Amino acid sequence: MALLTATDVRHYFGGLCAITDFNLALHRGELMGLIGPNGAGKTTIFNLITGVYRASQGSIRFQDTELVGKTPHQITALRIGRTFQNIRLFRELSVLDNVRIAHYAQTRCSLLEALLHTGRYRREEQRIIDHSRELLAIFKLEHLAGEKAKNLPYGSQRRLEIARALAIGPELLLLDEPAAGMNPNEIGQLMEFILWIREQFQLTILLIEHQMKLVMGICERIKVLDFGQTLAEGAPEMIQNDPQVLKAYLGDGAIG
Amino acid sequence: MNTRLWRHWEWLLDRPWLLPALLAGGLVLAFAIPQYQLFNNYIQLILMYIGINIILTVSLNLVNGYMGEFSLAHAGFMAVGAYTSALLTMEVLPVGTYPSLFPVALLAGGAATAVLGLAVALSSFRVRGDYLAIITLAFLMIVKSAIENVDAIGGPRGLPGIPRLTTLPWVFFWTVTLVWLVRNFVYSHYGRGILSIREDEIASDLMSVDTRRVKIFAFMLSSFCAGIAGGLFAHLLQFISPRVFDIVKTTEILIMVYLGGIASIGGSIIGATLYTLLLEVLRPSTMASLLSWLPAPIFDPLYEYFIRHLGVLRMVIMPLALVLVMLYWPRGIMGMREFRGFVPRRDRAAHHALDTPAESPHGTADRH
């Protein structure tokens, strides 16, 4: 059975149908790419999955749980982590706190224990700090733990966003244009890195990307969207030669 | 800056016993001052005002500074706490025979206020920023006109004859306890939750923070503290009326928050203390007695043209001071920074806003 299933999802913004009959079956351990021209509705799909928008029609299921109608934090707590197209870190907070905040759903202590800072509460806090530091070490950000997130260089901010998403302990990771603003060399490193965290954290990954090198290089399956509709789905080689996809990306005259 | 002096200061700030020692000293003084009349009643009164204002400032900072909302309802929260506890001590609880029931009245006032805070929190789900500020202003007006229109509690004439139960030890106890609770809240996953709401509410929700629950807790804790402060205030003044809890009172608390600096407990304590002292110094009688050492040729014209008019002038000076602070010192004294002693040890290494870089990289590495 698929880890994430979307069935006939539609979403309207006012009268505009942004997503039409979206279907998806993402299997555990898979690395799938979601591509399409600007405005195709890729990020909208992420927002529908994570509950930022509520799908107008259809059903999205994660394992056995219906996601439509749940709030973002409830969905995230089911272990779905995500990053953002335009980095959305907590800019004025420290790097460590950015990662610590994402542990919210894993805390077990009550308000009273938090207000009194009981022994159990302090141990829980220490566990979260230790886990956050481990993550930062993996992402080579440990020496920046006390720095404000906004002071980090661009590439480190991207890494921190992924570290923060992993702090949730996700089974499914949604990456929204992780390679945006990177040069070819950095993209190469990022590809290896994505494959490595998939192994390390046993992730299922759905990723949006414009960089064909990255998508074609690491995705096992690719889904192409245009104007909210699914144009094609399949292995990278198949997508590369799909006439409809070429048309959407390169325009009519390009084929031939 | 004298570096050697600075190093001593640094060393002192790093002592783990500093805060407990200060607290113990404060506790002794809180009992000794009224017992042995170390200071006259006027100064004791000011000390109690400082404590009450610290509670109000720290609790408003929780919402306006840490959470980044703009609440104007604080005077209204204070009023609910003041009236609830005053009515309890006057009509219900036999505090004449059992003065130790005073905290029960205060807690009841705080609880009643927390319920009102819940109502504000619920409206904060739908609106933010300027619009929430307007809603909190409306809350303040509702509370005020509700009190004005209930004749049984004195209506616009107010409520006289409240027993004087607020003492320096009580003020000390409540100030320390409530500031401690707010500090613990701020340095918990809930506190990080409200900070992340200030930074980016949607991202916060997507990082699993239950933003609604966190907002409810923050508003309720903030209003609970304001309610207790209102109760202490009522049992110190012995007379309360709706006019005491109007927008001017809220403005005063806002000045203390922004003077001290947003998102800082240490700043709030400094802001509340400075503002309360300034307000007192700018009274004609206080200023006159402070400057009485001046020779008569200087003092007399000063009195004639300046000190005598301070009653009016200070209503100009204080707002002017706020304007200048906002223009030239917009973050306030401690804006977004914190004294090390207030930050739990485990949070210091990677705190976003310590007064100075607390630990060297070596200090953070030796945890492992």
Query: A117 and A59 in one domain?
Result: no
Give the pLDDT of residue B141. Answer: 95
**CB contacts < 8 A (A, B):** 120
Q: Which residues pair with A65 in a beta bridge?
A: A62
Q: Is residue A86 part of a domain?
A: no
Q: Which residues of B touch A114 (CB under 8 A)?
A: 184-185, 188-190
Q: Which residues of B touch A70 (CB under 8 A)?
A: none
Q: Is residue A87 part of a domain?
A: no
Strand ranges (E), B141-273: none
Q: Which residues of B touch A133 (CB under 8 A)?
A: 367-368
Give the range of the structural domain holding residue A27, as residue numbers without chain letter: 1-79+170-256
Query: A177 and A54 in one domain?
Result: yes
The verdict on a CB contact (< 8 Å) between B206 and A72 is yes
Per-residue pLDDT in tens (0 to 9) along chain B, 368 residues? 567 888 888 888 778 888 889 999 999 999 999 999 999 999 999 999 999 999 999 999 999 999 999 999 999 999 999 999 999 999 988 888 888 899 999 999 999 999 999 999 998 898 888 999 999 999 999 999 999 999 999 999 999 999 999 999 999 999 999 999 999 999 999 999 999 999 999 999 999 999 999 999 999 999 999 999 999 999 999 999 999 999 989 989 999 999 999 999 999 999 999 999 998 888 888 888 888 888 989 888 888 888 888 888 888 887 787 788 888 888 888 888 888 888 888 888 778 766 544 333 333 333 33
Select from B178, B207, B214, B351 the residue whose CB has the most chain A CBs within 10 Å, as the one to mutate to test that interface.
B207
Q: Is residue A84 part of a domain?
A: no
How many whole angstroms separate alpha carbon A248 and alpha carbon A18? 17
Per-residue pLDDT in tens (0 to 9) along chain A, 256 residues? 799 999 999 999 998 999 999 999 999 999 999 998 888 999 999 999 999 999 999 999 999 999 999 999 999 999 999 999 999 999 999 999 999 999 999 999 999 999 999 999 999 999 999 999 999 999 999 999 999 999 999 989 999 999 999 999 999 999 999 998 888 888 999 999 999 999 999 999 999 998 888 999 999 999 999 988 999 999 998 988 888 888 877 666 544 4
Give the pLDDT of residue B311. Answer: 83
Q: Does B208 touch chain A (CB under 8 A)?
A: yes
Give the pLDDT of residue B355. Answer: 54
B257's CB contacts (< 8 A; 6+ apart) are B57, B60, B61, B64, B65, B268, B271, B332
Q: Is residue A20 part of a domain?
A: yes
Query: A191 and A208 in one domain?
Result: yes
Q: Does B363 touch chain A (CB under 8 A)?
A: no
Q: Is residue A53 part of a domain?
A: yes
Given A88, A96, A145, which is nearest B203 (Cβ)?
A: A88
Question: Looking at A147, A168, A189, which one is the last position of a domain?
Answer: A168
Query: A201 and A139 in one domain?
Result: no
From A231's Cα to the closest Cα of chain B, the distance in A is 29
Query: A72 and A23 in one domain?
Result: yes
> What are the structure tokens assigned to A111, written together?
């308000």
Q: Is residue A104 part of a domain?
A: yes
Select from B331, B352, B360 the residue whose CB has the most chain A CBs within 10 Å, as the one to mutate to test that interface.
B352
The verdict on a CB contact (< 8 Å) between B207 and A76 is yes
From A151's Cα to the closest Cα of chain B, the distance in A is 11
The verdict on a CB contact (< 8 Å) between B193 and A105 is no
Query: A155 and A105 in one domain?
Result: yes
Domains contained in chain A, number: 2
Give the pLDDT of residue B354. Answer: 65
Question: Looking at A138, A168, A198, which one is the last position of a domain?
Answer: A168
Q: Which residues of A touch B261 (CB under 8 A)?
A: none
Question: Looking at A105, A134, A168, which one is the last position of a domain?
Answer: A168
Give the pLDDT of residue A24. Answer: 94
Given B200, B350, B357, which is nearest A90 (Cβ)?
A: B200
Q: Does B67 touch chain A (CB under 8 A)?
A: no
Query: A180 and A64 in one domain?
Result: yes
pLDDT, tens only, B126-159: 888 899 999 999 999 999 999 999 999 999 999 9
Give the pLDDT of residue B314. Answer: 82
Q: Which residues of B touch A90 (CB under 8 A)?
A: 195-196, 199-200, 203-204
Residue located via tokens 């299997």: A27
Query: A207 and A256 in one domain?
Result: yes
Query: A47 and A7 in one domain?
Result: yes
Q: Does B295 touch chain A (CB under 8 A)?
A: no
Q: Is residue A226 part of a domain?
A: yes
Q: Which residue is closest to A88 within chain B, CA to CA?
A: B203
pLDDT, tens only, A8-49: 999 999 989 999 999 999 999 999 999 988 889 999 999 999
Residue B356's closest CA among B348, B364, B367, B344? B348
The verdict on a CB contact (< 8 Å) between A88 and B200 is yes
Query: A256 and A176 in one domain?
Result: yes
The β-bridge relationship of strands A31-35 and A16-26 is: unpaired
Give the pLDDT of residue A252. Answer: 62
Q: Determine the Cα angle at A191 with ends A190 and A196, to 5°.
A: 95
The verdict on a CB contact (< 8 Å) between B196 and A101 is yes
Which domains, ranges and CATH numbers included, belong to chain B? 40-351 (1.10.3470)
How many whole angstroms separate alpha carbon A86 and alpha carbon A109? 33
User: Own/partner pairs for A50-54, CB < 8 Å, 24+ apart?
Assistant: A50/A75, A50/A76, A50/A80, A50/A82, A50/A174, A50/B206, A51/A75, A52/B202, A52/B206, A53/A11
Query: A69 and A29 in one domain?
Result: yes
Q: Which residue is closest to A71 within chain B, CA to CA?
A: B205
From B88's Cα to the closest Cα of chain A, the distance in A is 26
Given B187, B188, B351, which is nearest A146 (Cβ)?
A: B351
Q: Which residues of A touch B196 (CB under 8 A)?
A: 90, 93, 101
Q: Does B207 touch chain A (CB under 8 A)?
A: yes
Please give, one letter per residue, the 3-state secondary structure of B76-111: HHHHHHHHHHHHHHHHHCCCCCCHHHHHHHHHHHHH
Q: Which residues of B touch A50 (CB under 8 A)?
A: 206
* Amino acid identity at B333: I
The verdict on a CB contact (< 8 Å) between A126 and B344 is no
Query: A126 and A163 in one domain?
Result: yes
Q: Enumerate residues 26 to 65 of chain B having a beta carbon within 8 A of any beta carbon in chain A.
A: none
The verdict on a CB contact (< 8 Å) between A93 and B195 is yes
Pseudo-torsion of CA B313, B314, B318, B323, nearest 10°? 0
How many whole angstroms separate alpha carbon B226 and alpha carbon B221? 9
DSSP B197: H
Give the pLDDT of residue B128. Answer: 86
Q: Is residue A85 part of a domain?
A: no
Residue B159's closest CA among B80, B64, B104, B93? B80
From B200's Cα to the closest Cα of chain A, the distance in A is 7
DSSP A190: H
